[in-house]
Amino acid sequence: MIHPIEYRYGRKEVKEIFDEEKRLDYMLKVECAVVKAHYKAGNIRDKSIVDEVEKKANTKFVKLSRVKQIENEINHDVMAVVKGLSEVCEGDAEKYIHLGITSNDTIDTANALQFADFIKFLESDLLNLRSVLTKQAEKNKQLVCIGRTHGQHAIPTTYGMKFAIYAMEIQRHIERLNECKKRLLVGKISGAVGTYAALGENGNEIEKAVMDELNLNPAEISNQVIQRDRYAEFFSHLALIAKTLEKIAIEIRNLQRTEIDEVGEHFEKGKQVGSSTMPQKRNPIIGERICGIGRIIVGNAIASLDNIPLWHERDLTNSSAERIIIPEICILSDYILNLAINLIKNLEFKYENIDRNLNLTNGLIMSEAVMINLTKKGLGRQEAHELVRECAMKVYESNNKINFKDVLLSDEKIRKFLSDDEIRQALNPKNYIGIAVKKVDEICEILKNK
């Protein structure tokens, strides 16, 4: 084994969709559907021929080992499948196998079958991730924490807001996938350059019959291949999902920093090892793995864009790239989605540290709240901003040795407008989260009804 997908990354049930034997099975399904379509069109009159192909067009009869042996002899993968099926079919059946079609009729239609099976897992993953994010949003809608902009303490927010934002982003990915499916799950049975020349006048009907049999839609028009903008759109969608997961993972990794330490990945007590040399370590390995594998997914999506401009009616430059891209990007996307589901479901919150960080700046994070309170008392916004800024700078200049509250209480200009109790109320982070709880409730309600 060489590739880590073989022994380290990916779920068994998803990897099976992309293994060699399953791939052969998809191609045989297409070849069988073409024979059945010829019968429906009147090009085959003997029903026993269809029955024979339908019986034999599977990996029980067409062995992968035999197909690979033929390919080694003739150096053509699709013709190896055609010959492998032909040699196990009795009577006149072999005469009608692959009749009127080209290699990519089989390959691209098989790709669509493969994508359709993979998307069932992808949809389930996205729905599960949306669900765990929504549950965390609802559970933590009143858990006040410091919000950070530019890496600096800003004003309070809630953990519920964080998770609700992520949940809505996943919802958009679900919507994008539903849009993308109609363009991705298409096949073609249109011949060497897409003119249906070898299929004759009823080529359209033969193509539609194949797609009906396989539960796909026919491409509206094609040349020798399904146009690769369809694949690039889907792979770009997977890259978008990977980037959302990376965003979530980076936030959790940052919040797990020793200096912040508000949340952390679940760590198996008594079992898990954090470092080979530092026994105390509890590294955010799941989040880091999500980020690292996400780079591969994005790289594959970029490679798929280069498959769009093929020469004339097609060249072969997409083929070798797609043998790597298609299984890799799909298997790894499913893998990191499931990593993210488990990461968020089992996330550990450190409430004392969340509260500590809220008060780390000795009240400075409540500067805006004080300013807004001053404007409510009739002071102009700009003047109020300058008054509060001057008080805040005194705290900074003291190296945070003095408390913001004490500076405000001792400032005569501030005291003209705000009482002791009003200043104390304005400095309470839990009093300054706006309608965050309401917004989280709205989002949770929206997502529960999806």
Mean pLDDT in residue range 126-153:
97
Q: Which has more pLDDT, 221 or 278? A: 221
Residue 237: inside a domain:
yes
- Say yes or no: 330 and 375 in one domain: no
List, for residues 29-65, the tens digit of each pLDDT value: 999 999 999 999 999 999 999 999 999 999 999 999 9
Strands 217-218 and 186-187: parallel
- Same domain, residue pair 232 and 278: yes
In the structure, what pLDDT confidence band is assigned to residue 273 with cuts at 50, 70 and 90? low
Q: Residue 73: exposed, middle, or buried by beta-carbon count in 10 A (0-12, 13-18, 19+)? A: exposed
In terms of C-beta density within 10 A (0-12 exposed, 13-18 middle, 19 or more buried), how is residue 381 classed?
exposed
Determine contact, residues 94/86, Cβ cutoff 8 Å.
Answer: yes
CA 378, distance to chain mean position in Å, is 50
**3 state SS of 264:** strand
Residue 202 lies in a domain: no
Q: How confident is the model at residue 170 (pLDDT cuts 50, 70, 90)?
A: very high
Residues 322 and 223 in one domain: yes
Task: Write down the number of H helices and E strands in the chain.
Answer: 19, 6
What are phi and psi for residue 218, nearest 5 degrees? -80, 145
Residue 320 annotated to the active site: no
Alpha helix ranges (H) inside 61-220: 64-74, 77-86, 103-139, 159-184, 203-214
Q: What is the predicted pLDDT for the residue at 56?
A: 97
Domain total in the chain: 3
Mean pLDDT score, 190-216: 96
Together in a domain, 223 and 336: yes
217: which residues sit within 8 A by CB, 6+ positions away?
182, 185, 186, 187, 211
- Domain presence at residue 242: yes
- 375 and 407 assigned to the same domain: yes
How far from the centroid of its chain's Cα atoms is residue 94's Cα? 43
Closest of 434, 433, 390, 431 to residue 410, by C-alpha: 390
Beta bridge partners of 156: 146
Residue 140 has what DSSP assignment? T
Residues 318 and 407 grouped into a single domain: no
123 and 220 inside one domain: yes
Same domain, 223 and 186: yes
Q: How many residues does the chain have?
A: 450
- DSSP state letters, 166-188: HHHHHHHHHHHHHHHHHHHSEE-
Tell whether the model's pLDDT for residue 276 goes beyond 60: no
Q: Are residues 400 and 343 in the same domain?
A: no
Neighbours of 87 (CB within 10 A): 13
Which amino acid belongs to residue 377? K
Please pick, among 150, 276, 312, 320, the residue that the annotation labels catalytic.
Answer: 150
48, 124, 275, 398: which one is catalytic?
275
H or E stretch at 242: helix 229-255
**Positive or negative, the Cα torsion across 148, 153, 156, 160?**
positive
385 noted as active-site residue: no
- What are the structure tokens assigned to 118, written together? 């993979």
pLDDT tens digit sequence for 293-318 = 999 999 999 999 999 999 999 999 99
* Angstrom distance (rounded) from CA 155 to CA 385: 15
Instruction: List beta partners, residue 218.
Output: 187
Look at 148-152, 239-243, 396-400, 410-414 and tell me which has the smallest mean pLDDT. Answer: 396-400
CB 286 within 8 A of CB 343: yes
Would you say residue 203 lies in a domain?
A: no
